[in-house]
Structure 1
């Protein structure tokens, strides 16, 4: 297991076909698949990033956009620290549905969830939603905003890292009660909290004794 200071749980939400799975694949594997199958229920990915010389693990849940899976995906809102709310800049209807998605995630998540609005497929020319419209919606709703391309990787890294930065800054400002799992943040094995907890469970002499016992021949 790679060492990390914190684990942040993310969700990716939005209509079917906006490129949620492609964004996840580009971020975790740095590759693009044009023929990606529709997500059934939820898909999962993870990656380590570095913030202020600290390793942060992002645990990302990609949710299905179909109405038939909404009751399943809604349960993943609980216990998430961050969310990518994605629409397709070439399909006006996906932008028109943003209020419904935003209302749903805010009703079912913690009040301090960091949410970024992502206008995906900005590499395509047949635009139906302007960047100004996306930015205005984000301002009106207190969201971070970026346009991305899962195909070219433009701003994909930034979409996840900007959100992680917001969560990390909130941790430094004691916004979250990290003992409460509903905030979607866990201490990692290299965190100071974990080291203190381990020290309480196993005082230095006990740890030394355990190490000696484990290294002695059978």
Structure 2
């Protein structure tokens, strides 16, 4: 008789636990559930926010609340920050800082921590997986404007289009666009030093794994 009663008690406890678990996952304000081993953890619903430039600083806006993420006062060689982009996974930002002459590309975590001064450059485009950025080299004279790549995980930089400029011809590439995690497209203007009126427009498709650049 006691064995039966013990089994009944255990069964009731299991039913109660299942019911409580169902209520938690269906009737609370939590949006995402993920599994780590055999343990389920609940993450609060994602915060809606915007990141933008205001008064030369990088700020985060959430509802009526504003928070300075990157303060220009903390960077002696930067007069102001001028543009910012948020990664697809919303975990990182890429932003441009204006100094006396060049513009600098920076990246950081979404909360403004772990700032990395990447390179002189302009424009910034995150890969779909948010692990790389493509940007253009920054120039102040008559010289090529290339597409460069920065791997956030390895800190490696590479110039993807430098081979197309020679002593007689140079290319000015525009903002790179990611087609997927491997392919980048960028429009360009090709200029001939011997005849500046002779310009050619085109689009390059760049494979970042093979380094192959195909014009079309």
Q: Give the TM interval when normalised to the shorter protein.
A: under 0.3
Give the TM-score, by structure 1 length: 0.23
Give the TM-score, by structure 2 length: 0.23
Higher-RCO chain (CA-CA 8 Å, sequence separation at least 6): 1
Asked which structure has the greater CA Rg, the reply is: 2
